[in-house]
Chain A
Amino acid sequence: MNSQLLSQLIKKEFLLEFRQKSTLAGILVYIVATVFISALSFKKIIHPTVWNALFWTIFMFISVNVSSKSFMQETKGKGLYNYLYYHPRQFILSKIMYNMILMAVLSLLTFFFYSWFVGSMVQDMGMFLLALIFSSSAFSGILSLMSAIASKANNNISLMTILSFPVLMPLLLVSVKLSKHAIDGLAWSVSCKYLLILIMLNFVVVALATLLFNYLWKE
């Protein structure tokens, strides 16, 4: 596999995103608005469990929103062009990596706004950030494949959420557990187990997505 082509594809994704600044700005507004609404309605969150649950709920909706459009712009003509030039593995990997980078940045931004408006309760910042980064990468892996599936089934956005929510659930529960440990400031030896599962899930998801995309790709 040619890594140069892969980096080219990722670069293309970024170029497309930055050329169309409205979508990126739209996501930012979406993040700020959701966090602001939750800050207004909750006033002050005292309980760490509530803080954690609310954060991950917001995070999940944002990630589904961001990734759902990763295959939406792929028109039929473009698909044919990509089919001729790239290997399906390169193509899905570029999508996943692009989504991983985007989601990592957006999750940090969400966390920033969330702790600004609602207040931060995290005691072990390092572990929390690790949980955030690894879960956002696994999220983008799953959601990229789901978006590819949904795009083959008439680009239905509601279908995307129906397909991805149940599949995301195991991952989300691990992330919630791990970040709860980080909030409570538990020792790393306790949460190490969950971090390992999260990393393992990353590998499983990316491997499965690259394997299975091969079959989605053919028209």
Chain B
Amino acid sequence: MIKWWKILSALLILYTLVLGMLGPVPHLDILNETIRNLFYHVPIWFAMLFQMGYSVVYAIKQLSKNDLQSDIISNQAAQTGLFFALPGLLTGCMWAKFTWGTWWTFQDPKLNGVAIAVLIYLAYFILRSSIDDEQKRARIAAVYNIFAFVMMFVFIMILPRLTDSLHPGNGGNPAFGKYDLDSNMRLVFYPAVIGWVLLSLWILDVKKRLAILTHKENEQ
């Protein structure tokens, strides 16, 4: 049975895809029409961060209750988050190419933060694969997950606010909210965020059910 929020997610994303391309946007220097990328790039990152947060919540749950189900969910959420990092990076690279003139720059703390986040989660999966015992793997992976998430949070959320960044809202650059995110864009942006987060939940739901079923089958 399809749940209502899955339909809502599909409708919202369809709505933002159409209105994001056709709707009115403010005309700004340098940004020009690329400002439409805001409807895709930013919500995808929100979905990624949401999944990483979901993963940590279940890691904490696993440590406090010590059940394998939470570990499976935590692992699947991390995978989904990493999966969302890919389109996030691609849209970001394209946007950077047409506004900053380069695909990638090491000057920007947010770009570095994303690179580190990807590395951290790759390390997480390597750690998981190197431990055979299920219970042990669940515990150790949860510990690394929590620790790594806090360090990543410091990196993505706190450091960019202190150093210069090319991203809006950091290091003297104006935030979108201040000048350009007018009421027309808000009408597309907020639904886009909800839509992409719901889509990530949908993907997680499917992955989670599959993983739990495979786990049950392996046990028998």
Contacts and interface: CB of A to CB of B under 8 A. Distances in A.
B211 interface: no
A153 B128 CA distance: 9
Contact of A153 (B112, B127, B142, B158): B127
Interface in B101-126: 109, 112, 116, 119-120, 123, 126
Contacts of B63: 215
Contacts, number: 79
Nearest to B144: A149
B136 A166 contact: no
A90 B140 CA distance: 20
A212 B147 contact: yes
A170 B131 CA distance: 27
Contact of B123 (A152, A163, A170): A163
A101 interface: no
B159 A166 contact: no
B110 to A, nearest CB: 13
A173 B159 contact: yes
B89 interface: no
B165 to A, nearest CB: 13
Interface stretch (B7-15, B90-98, B148-156, B186-194): B148-156
A208 B130 contact: no
A212 B151 CA distance: 14
User: Chain B binding site: helix, strand, loop or mixed by DSSP?
Assistant: helix
Given A149-B144, A167-B151, A174 B130 contact: no
A113 to B, nearest CB: 29
Nearest to B64: A215
Contacts of B127: 149, 153, 159, 162-163
A153 B159 CA distance: 31
B120 A156 contact: no
Contacts of A201: 154
A212 B143 contact: yes
Contacts of B57: none
Contacts of B148: 166-167
Contacts of A204: 150, 154
A165 to B, nearest CB: 7
B143 A215 contact: yes
A174 B113 CA distance: 13
Interface of A: 142, 145, 149, 152-154, 156, 159, 162-163, 165-167, 169-171, 173-174, 177, 193-194, 197, 201, 204, 208-209, 212, 215-216, 218-219
Cβ-closest 7 pairs across A and B: A170-B155, A166-B119, A166-B120, A212-B143, A169-B116, A167-B151, A153-B130
